[in-house]
Amino acid sequence: MKQANVVKLENGVKISFSGDIEKQNVVEMVQRCQTGQCDCMSDESKQKIEGMEVSGENGNIKLSIKGDLDIEEIREAISKSPLIN
């Protein structure tokens, strides 16, 4: 089972993915988002993103997103991502 825990940071959010999830899928999700090839979040939300960084390994992945983002908009984007679900 896949889980995504979203935590608000001073300069953005951190998402911890655990369970049956591959790092490559998270990396691909980030690349799609950065190049505008996904519909997971609104253009307004995308414009708030200043940077994204993926770390960790399969089953225990961290995604840090810098920017003035709201936890709910990130949770909604995760729920819409075909690569994560």
pLDDT tens for residues 33-64? 888 888 899 999 999 999 999 999 999 999 99
Residue 73, pLDDT score: 94
Which domains does the chain possess?
3-80 (3.30.1360)
- Cα distance between residue 1 and residue 30, in whole Å: 21
Angle at 75 between CA 69 and CA 79, to 5 degrees: 140
Q: Is the pTM of this model over 0.85?
A: yes
Tell me the two tokens of residue 57: 């390994």
Residue 83, pLDDT score: 85
